[in-house]
Structure 1
Amino acid sequence: MAVRSQDLGDARWDDVRIFLAVHRHGSLGQAGARLGLDTSTVSRRLTALEASLGARLFDRTREGLVPTRIAELVLPAAEAMEAAHRRLARDATGAESDAEGVVRVSTAPGFADVFVAPALVRLRARHPRIRIELDASVRVLDLTRHEADIALRSVRPEGADLVVTKLASARWVAAASRELVKDAGRVASWDALPWIAWDRDLGSFPAARWLARHAPGAEIALRTSFFLSQLTAAETGLGAMLVPEPYMHVRGLAPLRYAAALEASAADWPTDDLWLVGHRALRDVPRVAAVWDFLIEELRSP
């Protein structure tokens, strides 16, 4: 039987609540302890939910209960039901909902290392029951397929199921270590400097195109598509690089000074936007909403 997310519409909230607790804790006993129910009651009501869906939600193993594919399919709908229930309770009583569980965040490797990972200690202090899974890869995860709960993107995605908000815009600038900037003085030609460049697999990247267009004769001291390697090399004085301004400030780099003849090429420096993206069905789930609000607070430009 193919179970769709809307198939939970006929399920009782109490049974769905048990499903979520079992999914999060991996055992009937722990779920019962969390909900204040005995194990037999949890087991009986979970069985009733499975019967109403016509599908098994968990495989029983020696290590505990393992969610089936059907469980993962209905999980977003269950969490949406939870969010609606909590909103109802919050609106009626004014009480804050607890946020707990796993939130999967997707972003680019450099941004994850420099901005997201250092902020997680503050998130944990505020929401100790939230656990973050951070996907810091160049592969763009599909939120509509629930490959991630929240994403940080430099290009605004399109999709009716997505919620998108702009956090910031940042200009790329030519920068280097403070020592190299001092030694170079006022640069008269971009070709006069050694550069740290993107590898050929990212030759169409805006920063790579700028360097190819405005410094075609420059010595390339390092070519790599690993952004953190670029930053580290620039800090040591290996060469100049094009870098978004926020990275320059946190990594001790300084902007290059340049002659008036280079003003037109400097005006051609790329600009990046930062977008916070989520799935509409999960936006009000407490664990997702808590991380969403935290990232806005941490990353949005004043």
Structure 2
Amino acid sequence: MLPTLLALIPLTSESRASIGASFDIIDARDPASRDQAFAAHGEGVRAVLTNGSTGISAADIERLPHLELIGALGAGYENIARDAAKARGIVVANGAGTNDDCVADHAFALLLATVRAIPALDQACRAGRWRDELPLQPNFSGKRLGVVGLGNIGRKVARRALGFDLEVGYHNRHAQLETPYAYFDALIALAGWADYLVVTTPGGAATRHLIDADVLDALGPRGYLVNVARGSVVDTAALGRALEHGVIAGAGLDVYEGEPAPPALLTGSPRVVLTPHVGGRSPEALAASVARFIDNATRHFSGQPVLTPV
């Protein structure tokens, strides 16, 4: 008999087929189905599949008396009640490393689109406006890029920057001595140095509004911000004011506060490029993340440690 898995996130048909070979899957992707699933199947659930945005609360963990494993697709896990899981001896694992390339690629797509105003130029071209009517956009290469959070994704962003002849600096809790990039122990100093600031730090309470008005002031009127981390890391109100008053040149956001609805403060700004939290989503990344979850689950239920514990 296959162990019962409670899926708190939508699954593609391919993902469902892969996971279904190892689990009896119970869907609980919305509040109505979740309450029904907990009531009907909560006693038998041994694993939960979620992601960093959806997470799982301590109260919901309490409703699953035989839960052994919580898996998060992708690297994020900020909304998983890890203390409650730890208190019960429940293993929490994520998909670290499975979508890093996808996110780093998307960060650069956003940065290029923002600096070179690609969406605005596309609209102008479709409307029949020729280049002589439009403002010049700056060169992208030969500038300074600051990475906020030099983890796996941050390192891949930095590596891609070298191909554009960008000088790279970073801010982290601690210096990464094995890297060749300039370390800034103060975020505001990095922002003052950089032309581009790319945010790849984890979400959660510790990084909430890390990018605030002071950081944006330091980034300055020729600076561009890209956030592929979590929406909570950037103070939306401060960013809206900075864009409105020309404090910074532009922003590219794949994540934002109040998801899924984009912030009304930003949707009307021609200085912003928005995408709907798709930075880590591709067929390749999803397949890798599902495979990692299955590997972790197989190891756990055979008495071995998971590959990517949180």
Using structure 1 for the length normalisation, give the TM-score.
Answer: 0.29
Q: Which of the pair has the greater relative contact order for Cα pairs under 8 Å at 6+ separation?
A: 1
Structure with bigger strand share is 1
- Which of the two has higher C-alpha Rg? 1
Q: TM-score, normalised by structure 2?
A: 0.29
